[in-house]
Amino acid sequence: MSDTWLAFELWLRVHWPDGLKDLCPPATDDEIRSLETMLGAKLPHDYVEFLKVHNGQQGCAGGLFDNSEFLSTTEIIEQWKVWKDLLDSGDFEGYKSEPEAGVRDDWWNPKWIPFIHNGSGDHHCLDLAPGIDGQEGQVITMWHDMGTRAVEANSFKLWFAKYVDAVIAGKYVYSEDFGGLVDADFA
């Protein structure tokens, strides 16, 4: 994980220094423990390693992941609580998603842990309760207003490496118009 972070940081240093400066210090063991306690779940080892390099963004520079903000442990809890409150209040009664194979057909599940968000209620989540043929810890998309639920990678480590490789290959660029890293085709 640290090698992938290092490659990403080197790219940011050259192409978007403000994005690099926006990264928070590493998550502490206490912060990770508190997050797991609140979620009632053990986080995948690869994701814990990721947080121990940077615990999210400060939120001043724009979206680091396809124009989505990298959430800190505190922000994960806040975002997760919003969805949990909606679930507990019955807002999703009768709603089903249209998932890819390996993802449950829930509209939202408390074991879907948001780790990035676009500020409009859409997330990439760690799926700690996969459907049949899914893998615990897979990365899925979760849109607030659409039922599509896609598997982006079978593990967080694969998802992060794939994204950083795409950034380094020029498939994502910093866009002043969008205020973050975006698909080069839309910049």
Give pLDDT, residue 34: 98
Residue span of the structural domain in which 31 resides: 2-173
The percentage of residues in the chain with a pLDDT greater than 70, rounded to a whole number, is 100
Question: Domain for residue 121, yes or no?
Answer: yes
CA 39 to chain centre: 15
Domain at 12, CATH number = 3.40.1580.10
Read off the pLDDT of each residue in 74-81 and give the average, rounded to a whole number.
97
Residue 95 pLDDT greater than 90, yes or no: yes
For tokens 């968000």, name the residue.
117
The answer to whether the beta carbons of residues 13 and 20 sit under 8 Å apart is: yes
Identify the three-state secondary structure at position 112: strand
Residue 138, H or E segment:
strand 138-142
Tally the domains of the chain.
Answer: 1
Give pLDDT, residue 1: 86
Question: Domain for residue 179, yes or no?
Answer: no
Give pLDDT, residue 187: 82
Give pLDDT, residue 6: 97
Phi and psi angles of residue 183, each rounded to the nearest 5 degrees, phi first: -55, 130
Question: Domain for residue 187, yes or no?
Answer: no
Q: How confident is the model at residue 59 (pLDDT cuts 50, 70, 90)?
A: confident
